[in-house]
Structure formats: structure tokens, C-alpha cells
Structure 1
Amino acid sequence: MNDPIPLFGFTTNLLELASFVLSVITVALNIRQLHWAWLFSIVSSGLYAAVFFDARLYGDMGLQFVFILVSVWGWFNWLRGDDAQERLQVTRLNTPDRRSSLGATLLAFVLLAWFLKTYTDTDVPYADGFLTAGSLLGQVLLSRKKLENWHVWIVVDVLYVGLYIYKGLMLTALLYAIFVIMAIMGLRAWSKTCPQ
């Protein structure tokens, strides 16, 4: 699955290509608020863990395993609903939740960057740590159907495009450029269903 394949003027492999396709399906289903997105997320995250291991993006690799766990939790939340057993609705974060989310993300960034710099051979510990922490925030917010998840994904995905170009993962860079567009679409779609 790691044999190089030429595609649109750059080189990829079947593993990255399969991860790409499943990831696009995941986000498209998330935009439509369909719970099947979580199944595709689990499979694509498992495949991307292998892609990122090969690229020495260990924060992103570890993030994929967290994504699998959070996807199971998100699937459960979307099917079960809220504490009143009602279908989970799109809502906004309140001010205290915004502050705690930002604080937790900054702490995760510091810890991840330190760990990656100290214990791995990655050449991008700060970028990998920052984007991993931001992705964790985005995934948790998505699991709880918080509108702000799309804001987080727009920022994170734009920055990931640059990181993946730097690492030579051109198909994945293209995927994250597509994710930026899809996140904007998701923000628009979810804003229509979110109470002011």
C-alpha cells in the first residue's frame, strides 16, 4: 500500500489515497449532521495514523488514535442526544466554555510540543504540537455539535496545508485545502440551525 503512484502531477500511495477519500466523505456527512460520519472517521483515522507515522508526524499520528476514541464518543452523542435524551442540537459555546477550551488547548500545545521535541525525531515539534492541540479541540467541539468547531477547523486546516506541503504529503495538503472549503460550508449550514 506504500508503493508510489503518480496522481495529478505529484506522487502518493494507496494508503494516503484511501485516507483522503474516506476523510472527504467524513466531512461531507458531518456537514449534513449524519451520524454515519463517525464510522468513516474511525476508518480514515486508522489509515491516516499509518500515513503520518511514515512522515514522522507523530503528534498527528497519535491524534488519529484520539480521533478514533472521540469518534466513538461523538457517534454515541449524536445517536443518544443530550442529557434529556433529545437529539443533540447545534449550539454555541458560552463565554466560560470558550475560555476553558482556549486554556486547555494552549496547555495541550505546550505539553505536546515539549513531548515531541524531547522524545521524538520530528523536525516540526511546535507546528505538530500546535495543530494537534487545535485538532483535538475541533474534534471535541464537533462531537458536542458546537458551532465553533467549524471556526477551529478553518484555522487548523489552513495551517495544515502548509505543514503537509513542507512534509511532501501533497495529496493530504490538497485534502486539507478542500477541508477549508468544506469547513466554511459546514459553518454556513450549521449557522442556519443554531439558535442565536
Structure 2
Amino acid sequence: MNETLAVLGFSTTPLELISFALAVTTVLLNVRQNHWAWLFSITSSATYAVVFFDARLYGDSGLQLVFIAASVWGWYQWLRGAGETRLVVTRLGAAGWAWAVAAWGLGFLVLSWFLKNFTNTDVPHIDGFLTAGSLVGQLLLARKKVENWTVWIVVDVLYVGLYLYKDLHVTAVLYAVFVLLAARGLRAWSNIAQVKR
């Protein structure tokens, strides 16, 4: 699954292509609030963990393992929510934003320090920053907060550059598509949250 092949001028592997298809399906289902998105998330996270490890993106590889656990939790949250009712789309308040930004900042400091001192990655700071942001985005998504899409737009734009730098061209295209899908998700969920006020 790791043999190199060329697709539309990009160098890739079969595993990266499979991961790409699973990840696009995940986000399309998330935009529609379809709980089956979480199953696709678990599968794409498992395959991308291997792709990122092979590219020495250890933060991203480890993040995929966290995504698997978060996806199980998110699936449960979407089906059961708080108690026995399903979650509805809501917005963060000022305190929620403060916690999200603080968690991202603290996560960045811890992860970039760890990656710099305990791995052979050549991009510890950006990997740590994007991994921390992705964790925040995933938690907000699992709780059906509209702002998860804003986090994903920021993270995905920066990931495009990182993946181009790491010669993961197909994954860079995927994250460019994610930016568009996140914008679509932001618009759709914003409309839903306004209706429910």
C-alpha cells in the first residue's frame, strides 16, 4: 500500500488515495449532520495515521489516533447528546471562545516542545500548532458548535502549505477541498443555529 504511483501528475500511494476518499466522505457527511460520518472518520484516521507516520509528521500521526477516540465519543454525542436527546447545533459564547483559544495555545506549546525534543520531525512548531488546532476543532465538532468550521478553515489552509512542503500533494489537494467544505459547513450550520434561537 506504500508503493509510489503517479495520479494526475501527483506522486502518491494507494493508502493516501484511500485515505483521501474516506476523509472527503467524512466531511460531506459532517456538513449534513449525518452520524455515519464518524465511522468514516475512524477509518480515514486509521489509514492517515500510517501515511503521516511515513512522512515523519508524528504530531499528525498521533492526532489520527486521538481522532479515532474522539470519533467514537463524537458518534455517541451526536446520537445521545446530553442525556438521552440528540445534540443540536449551537454557538460558543465568549467563555467558550476563550477556552478554545487557550486550549489551542497551551496545546501548541506542549506539542511543539514535545515534537522538537523527542522526535526527528523537521517541522515541530507548525505540526504542533496544527495538531492542537485540530484537537480543538474536533472537540467543537463533536459538541456541534458552529465555530468548529472556523477552526477547520484556519487549520486546513495552513495544512495545505505543510503538506505541499512534505510532498503529500494529494493530501494538500484534500485539505484545499476541506477549506471549501468547511466554508459550506459554516454557512449551513450558521443558518441552522440562527433558526433554533
TM-score by length of 2: 0.97
Structure 2 counterparts to residues 137-152 of structure 1, below 5 A: 137-152=136-151
Structure 2 counterparts to residues 110-149 of structure 1, below 5 A: 110-149=109-148
Structure 2 counterparts to residues 1-196 of structure 1, below 5 A: 1-83=1-83, 85-195=84-194
Shift of 1:100: 1.2
Q: What whole-Å deviation, never above 9, does each CA across 1:13-64 have from its counterpart, x for those lacking one? A: 1100000000000000000000000000000000000000000000000000
Unaligned regions of 5+ residues in structure 2, if any?
none
AA aligned opposite 1:178: V
User: 2:141 and 2:170 mapped to 1: Cα distance?
Assistant: 24
User: 1:87 and 1:116 mapped to 2: Cα distance?
Assistant: 38
Question: Are 2:79 and 2:85, in contact at CA under 8 Å, matched by a contact in 1?
Answer: no
User: 2:181 and 2:95 mapped to 1: Cα distance?
Assistant: 28
Deviates more, 1:94-103 or 1:23-32: 94-103
Deviates more, 1:85-94 or 1:178-187: 85-94
Q: Over aligned residue pairs, what C-alpha RMSD do you find?
A: 0.7
AA aligned opposite 1:169: L
SS at match of 2:116: helix
User: 1:81 and 1:104 mapped to 2: Cα distance?
Assistant: 22
User: 1:78 and 1:115 mapped to 2: Cα distance?
Assistant: 33
User: 1:164 and 1:50 mapped to 2: Cα distance?
Assistant: 15
Deviates more, 1:184-193 or 1:21-30: 184-193
Identity %: 63
Regions of 4+ moved over 4 Å: none
AA aligned opposite 2:112: A
Shift of 1:79: 0.6
How many aligned residue pairs are there?
A: 195
Q: What whole-Å deviation, never above 9, does each CA across 1:116-174 have from its counterpart, x for those lacking one? A: 00000000000000000000000000000000000000000000000000000000000
TM-score by length of 1: 0.98
Q: What whole-Å deviation, never above 9, does each CA across 1:58-108 have from its counterpart, x for those lacking one? A: 00000000000000000000011223x222100001111111111111001
User: 1:179 and 1:158 mapped to 2: Cα distance?
Assistant: 9
